[in-house]
């Protein structure tokens, strides 16, 4: 359904940091050819290598970004509401480097890439927001590379748990937001290896019960994980 028929969704979009400071007229241009669309779970939205026709915004549900090579696959990120994905491909008018699929029933806004690039040239405030967003994405992947190159898979898991706990109530108890096999892929390991890593973490003060995690000895866990903002702070 065209976005213009859904003013409440349009308002939601407008509140995103990326779009909040731009001119009204430009926002209208941007959303003119936009659609709000519902997708069932496990739908492949885009495939790596395709031209970037749309900028996507996740309104509800969740989307997995992943990549393939030589029969292998890895999860690059999970996008949750409300945020955009594949902004870089859109502004560069270059092929997607990642594929995307819905993880669950999801509602997305599709903004034609053409419009994003046009408005980008017209609206300085929007351009500034794009820069901030891109810089953020860039730094996120730099941290991701450091994580992969400097840490073992056990250390990556330990830090993932600390980070997730910190950003979700800090109660030392939470439920994993994804299936373990996806978490494994995200962390750059196999499901089997994750299973074993989970077992190993018992001696460092982490209890697993299915999807439920409780950190029983925060100090012990941090001693293993040695978290640093320069890798683990999502806001840096």
Regarding beta strands 83-85 and 54-60, do their DSSP bridges make them parallel or antiparallel, or are they unpaired? antiparallel
Instruction: Name which of a second copy, DNA, none residue 14 binds, using a CB cut-off of 5 to 8 Å depending on partner kind.
Output: none
Of residues 173-192, which lie at the interface with a second copy (CB under 8 A)? 188
Q: x/- site string to a second copy, residues 13 to 42, per CB under 8 A?
A: ------------------------------
Near a second copy by CB under 8 A: residue from 13, 58, 98, 213: 98
Instruction: Name which of DNA, a second copy, none residue 180 binds, using a CB cut-off of 5 to 8 Å depending on partner kind.
Output: DNA
Instruction: Name which of a second copy, DNA, none residue 95 binds, using a CB cut-off of 5 to 8 Å depending on partner kind.
Output: a second copy
Instruction: Name which of a second copy, DNA, none residue 98 binds, using a CB cut-off of 5 to 8 Å depending on partner kind.
Output: a second copy
Q: Does 92 bind a second copy (CB under 8 A)?
A: yes
Q: Contact residues for DNA (CB under 7 A)?
A: 152-154, 179-181, 188-199, 208, 210-211
Of residues 145-174, which lie at the interface with a second copy (CB under 8 A)? 145-146, 148-151
Give burial (CB, 10 Å; 0-12/13-18/19+) of 46: buried
Give strand ranges (E) for 5-90: 35-39, 44-46, 54-60, 63-69, 72-79, 83-85
Of residues 102-141, which lie at the interface with a second copy (CB under 8 A)? 120-121, 124, 127-128, 130-132, 134-139, 141
Q: Does 209 bind a second copy (CB under 8 A)?
A: no
DSSP per-residue codes, 140-204: HHHHHHHHHHHS-HHHHHHHHHHHHHHTTT-SSEEE-SS-HHHHHHHHTS-HHHHHHHHHHHGGG
Task: Give SS3 for 230.
Answer: helix
Residues 6+ apart with CB under 8 A from 211: 175, 176, 180
Phi first, then psi, for residue 194 (nearest 5°) are: -65, -45
CB distance 196 to 234 below 8 Å: no
Alpha helices of 53-108 — where are they, by DSSP H? 87-92
Which residues contribute to the site for a second copy (CB under 8 A)?
A: 48-49, 67-70, 72-74, 76, 87-89, 91-92, 94-95, 97-98, 120-121, 124, 127-128, 130-132, 134-139, 141-146, 148-151, 188, 226, 228, 230-231, 236
């Amino acid at each position: 359904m065209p976005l213009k028929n859904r003013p409440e969704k349009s308002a939601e979009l407008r509140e995103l940091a990326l779009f909040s400071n731009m001119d009204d007229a430009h926002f209208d241009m941007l959303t003119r050819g936009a659609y709000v669309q519902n997708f069932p779970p496990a739908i492949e939205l885009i495939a790596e290598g395709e031209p970037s026709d749309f900028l996507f915004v996740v309104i509800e549900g969740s989307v997995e970004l992943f990549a393939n090579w030589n029969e292998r696959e890895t999860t690059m990120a999970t996008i949750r509401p409300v945020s955009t994905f594949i902004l870089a491909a859109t502004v560069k008018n270059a092929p997607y480097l990642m594929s995307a699929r819905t993880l669950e029933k999801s509602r997305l806004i599709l903004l034609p890439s053409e419009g994003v690039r046009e408005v980008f040239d017209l609206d300085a405030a929007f351009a500034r927001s794009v820069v901030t967003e891109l810089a953020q994405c860039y730094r996120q992947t730099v941290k991701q590379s450091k994580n992969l190159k400097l840490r073992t898979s056990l250390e990556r898991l330990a830090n993932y748990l600390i980070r997730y706990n910190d950003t979700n109530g800090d109660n030392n108890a939470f439920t994993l937001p994804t299936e373990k096999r996806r978490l494994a892929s995200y962390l750059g390991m196999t499901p089997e290896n994750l299973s074993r890593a989970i077992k190993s973490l018992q001696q460092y003060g982490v209890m697993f019960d299915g999807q439920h995690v409780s950190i029983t000895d925060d100090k012990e866990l941090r001693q293993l994980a040695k978290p640093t903002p320069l890798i683990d702070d999502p806001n840096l």
